[in-house]
Amino acid sequence: MGGFLGFVYRQWTVKPKPLPPALSLSGKTALITGANSGLGLEAARELVSRRLSRLIIAVRDPSKVWPLDHDSYESIAGFGKRTEKLERLDYALLNAGVKMMSYEKSALGHETNVQINHLGTSAVSLAVLPALNKTSKKFNTSTRLTIVSSEGHFWIPFKERTASNILMHMDDPKTFGTQQQRYYTSKLLNVLWTRELASKISPEEVVVNTVNPGFCYSGLHRHSASFINVFLWLFAWTPEQGGSCLTDALVRQGGSHGAYVSEQRLTAPSPFVLSPEGATVQKKIWSETIALLKQEAPAIDMSMVA
């Protein structure tokens, strides 16, 4: 798992399957971030086709659905408060993300991949926890929170891990790296955050996992170099197949918690994540993220993990 040849083999041989037609999500409510296009949209369509009672699509454009901007903590806090007013929230799929190929500073002052993919996603995960927890207690059922990561978390050196403050260090343009390194690092942060978040929440209340949707045709690649089109032609899954990977991780994979789901099965994350050093960095990333959010986003409810 994790090597280029393994990646090629899986992309050519694995054929993700949609949810069983007989599976019914009647009575359930789900929210998906970044579901206005691509894999998120296909996941939304598949959930609705399985008789989901209510679907909330959260994107930056407020004219379309529930507004949610990962580069605004005010937006994230408001979104969380709105979810708490729902009658129930059974599933939350945090799919929104970017892949920036050159250094850009976000509106909040952090490197954009880190802000949108890690800090924003982490803040949203905390903001929706109260609604998921309330549902689990009210209806005596486990709810599910799934964060979209990437197999790319296997492939980066993560040199920033030795810095005294990792997240602050990653705001320095000199640390950005080349090509997709920073994007893949942000996906590693997703895995580390998910594992630590899961350690602080009972799976009987909220099951927390992360998922690799595979390499798929998607607008995510719009900032990539032109040669990406060759890789897409050779190896990519369809958006529908990627969406099925997301829905599978969201509503199936029973008995999991803090897990990494890839090719629609529970899979070991990268050796670094499982190493003693990875465990130490995982807790460091958690502490730094919580401290940053307490300072920059005090309106977000963090009581479940305090």
Catalytic residues: 150, 183, 187
- Classify residue 103 by burial, with Cβ atoms within 10 Å: 0-12, 13-18, 19+: middle
Strand order in the sheet with 206-212: 66-67, 54-59, 29-33, 91-94, 143-148, 206-212, 260-262, 265-267
Tell me, rounded to whole angstroms, the distance of Cα 196 from its chain centroid: 14
Distances (CA, A) of 164 to 74, 126, 170, 194, 229: 28, 25, 11, 22, 39
Q: What is the DSSP letter of 14?
A: -
Cβ atoms 197, 190 nearer than 8 A: no
Which tokens belong to 41? Answer: 């949209």
Cα gap 125→140, rounded to integer Å: 21
Nearest to 182 by CA among 283, 88, 121, 104: 104
3-state secondary structure of 58: strand
Cα gap 172→201, rounded to integer Å: 33
Cα gap 159→25, rounded to integer Å: 43
